Amino acid sequence: MAATVLRCGLKECAITAREIAQLWGTPFAAAEARAELARQVQDIRRDGLLRAEHHQTGDREFDEVTDVLFHQRSIAALVAAHEKHKARRTAMSNTAVRLFAQAAELAPVFGMVGTLVSLNRLPQGLANGDFSGAIGMAVLTTLYGLLAANLIFAPIARMIERAANAEEQQRQEIVDWLADQLVEAAPALGPVDRRRQAA
């Protein structure tokens, strides 16, 4: 763990800690966010964008992207704001995945270090006629390194990656739905360039 911190740095460790907290924290409530945005769309349909009240969804990103919509009156601006948040989230999750992948790579290496240390004690054990302890420690340190890499660090990296991908897919579906609803409610906002959005 110390080697991982030294390799990755404190900033990446802090980002990883936030990602871990989110992993076991409250998940993204897609249904609630969509319901709140549906209220916003209804207000825009009824009162128009200029008179409609800006509702808070409880999700910081959607609050910011709808705020951009109200200020710039453009679906393209809303999508661009979403893309900025998406890039930030992706960078943070990738940082956490890299850190745990680094830990998974280093764990077997330090297991081998423990093996070498134990084998270094072997000649002294042979002189005393007792070398079972040194051999046992040599085997266990390698085993612990492999177990830590494959049962702790690598699975956590995949958990973070899966959770990030799942949330990203949910958010993208909501943004696509919102853009379609806004085009129907206020065509003057402009159509969404699907090719640009997909890129």
Q: What is the pLDDT along the chain (199 residues), one digit of tens a residue?
A: 888 888 899 999 999 999 999 888 888 889 999 999 999 989 888 888 778 888 888 889 999 999 998 888 888 899 999 999 999 999 999 999 999 999 999 999 988 888 887 777 666 555 555 566 667 777 888 889 999 999 999 999 999 999 999 999 999 999 999 998 888 766 666 655 444 444 4
Distances (CA, A) of 114 to 25, 127, 136: 36, 21, 11
Which residue's structure tokens are 């966010």? 33
Q: In angstroms, rounded to a whole number, what is the distance separating the alpha carbons of residues 175 and 187?
A: 17
Tokens encoding 121: 């004690």
Q: What does pTM read for this prediction?
A: 0.79
Q: Report yes or no: 66 and 185 within 8 Å, Cβ to Cβ.
A: no
Return the C-alpha torsion angle 42, 177, 76, 164, nearest 10: 130
125-130, long-range: CB < 8 A, 24+ apart: none
